[in-house]
Structure 1
């Protein structure tokens, strides 16, 4: 559980290079995520091209972590692999993959930031063009990766007031 509490959104990185082996390990963690009906429709695009970073920063006001990122991974879905087309399970599947990636990077001592692409049309169009995504490949999120510039203290966001027993409004006092 330490990794879960240590994971933080990191927006500034050192100039240390994240290796291809480290990126592969992070993607392997993403592929270990659950997916609806085991569809595994995720697609991962490793990005190191600063021009792609600049394009995304032009449409995402909070993507400035890309200024110092060693790498980024665009997580997409191949909609042709959906077991129930049109139901949108790919969003949950890709989100689970991203969370696994964030946790694996944290366990490796790296920092990450999950930047939303879907459902913002300008961000989707930008990443489709920049990464030459064919029809049916939908981007969900972009994860910047790097060696963080400082250590962050673990954080506890537990809020008992957000928990109910059996029905909304019935306090769960445990």
Structure 2
């Protein structure tokens, strides 16, 4: 649980490199995520080219973390591996993978940030072009990585008034 509470969205990183060993461990964590019918349709593209970062920043003005990220991973789905084509389970599968990756980055002492790509058509088109994604490979998001410039305290965001028993509005804990 400690890693879950320590995970924070980090938007500014030091110049300390993120190693290939660290990136591989983060991707391994992503691949440990559950997927619908065990389809494992995820595809990971390690991004190291600052020009790709700059290009993405042009279509995602809130992606300023890419200015200092030391590595990033584009999480995509290979739609040909979908068990129920057209149902969109890949979105949940890739999201679970991304969350695992964020947690593993935290466990490794790195900062990370989930940058949304799907469903924004301009972001999708940008990444399809610059990363040369073939037909059927759909980007979901980018995990930006780096050593955080500052330590942020763990946070517990539990909100009791958003938890119900059996029916909406019936408090779970009294």
TM normalised by structure 2 equals: 0.99
Cα shift at 1:61: 1.2
Cα distance in 2 between the residues matched to 1:105 and 1:25: 9
Cα distance in 2 between the residues matched to 1:90 and 1:102: 18
Query: Counterpart in 1 of 2:69?
Result: 69
Query: Counterpart in 2 of 1:37?
Result: 37
Cα distance in 2 between the residues matched to 1:151 and 1:109: 10
Cα shift at 1:52: 0.5
Tell me the secondary structure at the aligned position of residue 87 of structure 2: coil
Query: Counterpart in 2 of 1:105?
Result: 105
Query: Counterpart in 2 of 1:119?
Result: 119
Cα distance in 1 between the residues matched to 2:20 and 2:132: 21
Q: CA RMSD in A?
A: 0.6
Cα shift at 1:169: 1.1
Cα distance in 2 between the residues matched to 1:137 and 1:74: 11
Q: Which 4+ residue blocks in structure 1 deviate beyond 2 angstroms?
A: none
Query: Counterpart in 2 of 1:16?
Result: 16
Tell me the secondary structure at the aligned position of residue 56 of structure 1: helix
Cα distance in 2 between the residues matched to 1:130 and 1:9: 25
Cα distance in 2 between the residues matched to 1:157 and 1:60: 27
How many pairs were matched up? Answer: 174
TM normalised by structure 1 equals: 0.99
Are residues 1:160 and 2:160 paired? yes
Cα shift at 1:172: 1.0
